[in-house]
Amino acid sequence: MSDLKEPELSILHGKYRILRVIGQGGFGKTFLAIDESQPSLPRCVVKQFFPHNLGNSGEMAAALFRQEAERLKELGSHPQIPGLLDYFEQDGNQFIVQQFINGPNLEEELGLEGPLSERQIQDLLKDILPVLEFIHSHHVIHRDIKPANIIRQRVDGQLILVDFGASKYSSETVMAKTGTLIGSPAYTAPEQVMGKAQFSSDLYSLGVTCLHLLTQIQPFELMDHAEGTWVWRDYLSNSVSQQLGQVLDKLLERGTRKRYQFATEVLQDLAPTQPSASVPDDMVEGEKKSPGKLRSKIVAVSLAGIVWCVTLAGIGVGVNHFFPLGKQPDLIHALQPQVQPRQDPVLRRVPSSQKSQQQAEKDEELKTWVPLFTLVKSIVLFFGSSSILLGGVRAMRAHAIGEDYSPGLTLVMSGVTIIITFNIVLPILGLGDILDTTTSAALTLRHEPRK
């Protein structure tokens, strides 16, 4: 096997000048080059393969290389796959030349910007899954899906899937055979480790890619190797919805029959979460992310309700201290005859001149407080009832579609707290009778003629 001694000074195929090495593995190298046959000297990517490392030799290796090159040429027609510009053999090595994609890969972006949010993960899946659907329809398995092989094109932000050097043509005969392990171990599906890659192997690798981008933790550390289960939720920097969590779990199934078989299946399950307003980034993944999360919210809401009751009680005590309505039985007693709405109109319309001066003053004082107490009680009880109704509807709707229902539960508990306050706390303080009496008195006194 020959190699390039000084790649920075080499010219391949008489026109591709090597600038530098940009990647290297056990099966080949990747170079950044310029095409000196073009007046604009465009940059390109040259990939060198070592056929002997792949277990092939001689004419068979050359024939397989040409088949793979033609297949990559077909794939290059997709706008999110680098176009194949050329392929050739030189000095016992095989080379393909592809379009250069200018932009950072997702591994580089992760180091600069930190973990992705749920919305960004959904956008990633929405962009890459159609590409996998396309290559799988051409019977090609990529076999090396990982953040470093997804580049964000600088000119328009489009995600480009690169490095098809490890890709393999898939047929019933080929898939039944045990082949060579190719790919990055941390992102490789279990069946691919055994040399039997399938279409779903790419989906598994895409799922692992999402975990790494969500947590910024290496994939091997996101698995409990003793139990053979993923524990990625314990490392989340940004919470995810229950729906996205279920999609990722199914992408990561070790058994191929339990895993998604086709990219279209994943897209169908993601469809309800595609609208930007449907799933906020801060919506937690529900009880599956943290079983105690919901209980903590309930305790917090309950404590808030207690604080609310104590606050209202304090306000009531203050009002009762400075305006001692609850400590004046004469005022309540004075109101009783006026709360009889069915009395003879003639008796009710006694000229005010015949009333005692003390009673008249009490009537005027009551008329001042009646509108305020009536308005406050009506508004607060209406708010409490509305909170229970709207919160219940919201909680049931969220539960039905698998979303977090604790916001709705919070509304319900707030409404219940308000109702309990006005029906238990205030009567204990002696204010309940005053509110009921003033509300009833309003019906009588609003028709009373002024002096």
**144 is an active site residue:** yes
Q: What digits encode the pLDDT tens for the residues 175-230? A: 444 455 566 899 999 999 998 999 999 999 999 999 999 999 999 999 998 998 99
Q: What digits encode the pLDDT tens for the residues 297-324? A: 555 656 666 666 666 666 655 555 555 5
Residue 87: pLDDT band with limits 50, 70, 90: very high
Domain boundaries, the chain: 7-99, 106-288, 291-445
Does residue 8 surpass a pLDDT of 60?
no
Residue 28: pLDDT band with limits 50, 70, 90: confident
Determine the Cα angle at 411 with ends 406 and 412, to 5°: 95
What average pLDDT is seen over the chain? 75
Residue 325: pLDDT band with limits 50, 70, 90: very low
Q: Between 371 and 88, name the one with better pLDDT.
A: 88
Residue 257: pLDDT band with limits 50, 70, 90: very high
CATH for the stretch 7-99: 3.30.200.20
* Model confidence pTM above 0.85: no
Q: What is the 3-state secondary structure (H, E, C) of the chain?
A: CCCCCCHHHCEECCCEEEEEEEEEECCEEEEEEEECCCCCCCEEEEEEECHHHHCCCHHHHHHHHHHHHHHHHHHCCCCCCCCEEEEEEECCEEEEEEECCCCCEHHHHHHHHCCCCHHHHHHHHHHHHHHHHHHHHCCEECCCCCHHHEEECCCCCCEEECCHHHCEECCHHHHCCCCCCCCCHHHCCHHHHCCCCCHHHHHHHHHHHHHHHHHCCCHHHHEECCCCEECHHHHCCCCCCHHHHHHHHHHCCCCCCCCCCCHHHHHHHHHHHCCCCCCCCCCCCHHHCCHHHHHHHHHHHHHHHHHHHHHHHHHHHHHHHHCCCCCCHHHHHHHHHHHCCCCCHHHHCCCHHHCCHHHHHHHHHHHHHHHHHHHHHHHHHHHHHHHHHHHHHHHHHHHHCCCCCHHHHHHHHHHHHHHHHHHHHHHHCCCHHHHHHHHHHHHHHCCCCCC
Report CA-CA distances (Å) from 372 to 74, 230, 323, 415, 439.
79, 60, 13, 22, 10
Token pair in block for residue 188:
């490789």
Residues 106-288: name the CATH superfamily: Transferase(Phosphotransferase) domain 1 (1.10.510.10)
In this prediction, residue 312 carries a pLDDT of 61
In the block, which residue shows the tokens 């975990």? 211
In this prediction, residue 74 carries a pLDDT of 86
- Name the active-site residue from 86, 144, 163, 202: 144
Token pair in block for residue 326:
């609850």
Q: Between 25 and 9, name the one with better pLDDT.
A: 25
In this prediction, residue 234 carries a pLDDT of 94
